[in-house]
Structure 1
Amino acid sequence: MAYPIAFQLYSSRLFPPVTDHLPILKAMGYDAIEPWPPAYEDDPAAFRRHLDDAGLGCFGFHMPLAGLISEPNRYIEIAQILGARYLIPPFVPKEERRNTTDFWRCIGEDLATGAERAGRYGLRVAWHNHDFEYQPLDDGSRPIEHILGTGDDTVGFEIDCGWVKRAGVDPASELELYAARIIAIQTKDLASPATEEDDGWTATGDGVIDWPELAPLFRQTAADHIVTEHDNPSDWQRFAERSIRYLREIGL
């Protein structure tokens, strides 16, 4: 059975207005989009109307971690308006990061608090990784271990395979380690080493990640959808079309 596939709208942010992209994505075969905050925050209801008009869903959306802490009810309401299941904080700014287990454990506690509140409304909170979560701390542990904690599955995980690979870690090991926590899989791909074009990212299937090898591991996770993303494509439509076509070709 094929996974529903969503497109992360951050990928086409440099070619506004992103609402014009929705019918194009639908025609390519996408089932949903995953928006980042500027796309929906000003008027979530209007954004939902654009989705409905295009025939697209919204499984989850990226949101500021600070919003989960200080304005949880606002983002819960946005989730309800958009019809989303997942609230996904994706980042800690570099200037705010601390190289200590306590700091990252506190991030995990904030996520768990938000997850408990969201759970009352049938929603889930999930973390989205970059590469910094995989840089070892002084004690040899990794931030991701403290963010997700141990034994508490209230906080889910949207794994970004491209950033895992860029951190020098094998995505297969992380798919296996966090299988029960993974609610969505981002199939971001890396271009060949030393590639400078498009910041070294490329369409899914055009890069160095062995997706046919990883695909069986997808099925062993709790993920219920896939998300395509590219941080800086020079041609967003080419990226979007090639990525979904490749994923379908390999049976995802």
Structure 2
Amino acid sequence: MGQAFSIMNKPSRRKFIQMGSLMGLGAALMPMQFCSPAKKEGETLMTDPETVAQTLKAFGIQLYSVKDQMAENPQETMRALASYGYKQFEGFDGGKGILWGMETAEFKSLNSEIGVDFVATHCDVFKNLEAQAEQAAEVGIKYLICPWIGGQDSLDKYKAIAEQFNQIGETLKGYGLKFAYHNHDYTFVEQEGQLPQDVLMDNTDPALVDFEMDIYWVYVAGVDPEAYMKKYKDRFRLCHVKDAAAGIENPHERGVLLGQGEIPFAKLIKESQSLGMKYYIVEQEQFDGVTPMQAAEKNAAYLSKLEY
């Protein structure tokens, strides 16, 4: 029986050894994603970046939000805003010029001291363009922005303005600057069967003209900001982050502090980053029970914690 058992099991033993070898080879070739190595002390396992919540590393404020304070003391106002967490400023001409009455060296020194990048300024681009461009270039401002053209009574007039924008963009290019147009609601109201904003987008050269989307004005005009950014991918480089309350009919009376309205900023910020958006600029024009500086501080706190 012992001999018979030994003879009968020889094939089985060879088969067992062969199977064991194959199993060992299979384990060696097994894709790494099926393995679960033990995590060493102080080591973190890689996580899909798409599942990790993010916050904005830098965001700015349009100084028009605190226009009275800027008129009284621009230097101290800018210092206070920087202390709230703003890393970028967008200016406007409040009657003292785009440098707020400061000399070039003083302006640059102040922004360096408070750690702020003065990325853009709203100004009258139809007057003294080259003088403003020269000042902006000297202090490192990147954009001159047209904040207002007013509603036009024909699409042909918008086409003519688009051509002016191309010419302005060409001039600013010579100074190493960029040009952009900031919308209000009137270019998102249909006219002659078309949106005037489409006319401006379609008749400007992307190499010369960028756009700043005021998300509030697009939203209260009844247009989806995200869908419009997708329609004109890589044309909107800056945006105004401004919230709108629900249940108020008048579009000029819907402004509230960030997080108190119904605009889905977390989703918009996340999606817009793949559509060419670079600068997120807080703007507040309506105040309910808070001062402009208090609003600026609260908006900075909201945006610094907003996960997307």
TM range (shorter): 0.7 to 0.9
Q: Distance in 2 between matches of 1:199 and 1:134?
A: 18
Q: Contact 1:3–1:224 at 8 Å: present in 2 too?
A: no
Q: Contact 1:22–1:56 at 8 Å: present in 2 too?
A: no
User: Where in structure 2 are the equivalents of 1:208-223 lying within 5 Å?
Assistant: 208-223=262-277
CA-to-aligned-CA distance 1:221-242 (integer Å, 9 cap, x gap): 2222210001233522232222
Which amino acid counterpart does residue 148 of structure 1 have in structure 2? M
| Pair 1:224–1:39, CA change in 2 (3 A) | farther
Which amino acid counterpart does residue 223 of structure 1 have in structure 2? M
Aligned equivalent of 1:85: 142
Q: Distance in 2 between matches of 1:26 and 1:239?
A: 14
Aligned equivalent of 1:60: 120
| Pair 1:137–1:65, CA change in 2 (3 A) | farther
TM-score by length of structure 1 reads 0.87
Percent of aligned pairs with the same amino acid: 24
Aligned equivalent of 2:159: 105
Q: Distance in 1 between matches of 2:153 and 2:125?
A: 18
User: Where in structure 2 are the equivalents of 1:168-247 lying within 5 Å?
Assistant: 168-194=222-248, 199-233=253-287, 234-247=290-303
Segments of 5+ residues of structure 1 without an aligned counterpart are none
CA-to-aligned-CA distance 1:124-145 (integer Å, 9 cap, x gap): 100101101111112x111111
Q: Contact 2:162–2:204 at 8 Å: present in 1 too?
A: no
Corresponding residue pairs, total? 244
Q: In terms of Rg, which structure is larger? A: 2
Q: Distance in 2 between matches of 1:173 and 1:3?
A: 25
CA-to-aligned-CA distance 1:49-85 (integer Å, 9 cap, x gap): 5434433221010011422xxx221121121133111
CA positional deviation for 1:204: 1.8
Segments of 5+ residues of structure 2 without an aligned counterpart are 1-53
Q: Contact 2:134–2:175 at 8 Å: present in 1 too?
A: no
For the aligned residues, what is the CA RMSD?
Answer: 2.3
Q: Distance in 1 between matches of 2:261 and 2:125?
A: 31
**Worse-superposed segment, 185-194 or 146-155:** 146-155
Q: Distance in 2 between matches of 1:10 and 1:133?
A: 21
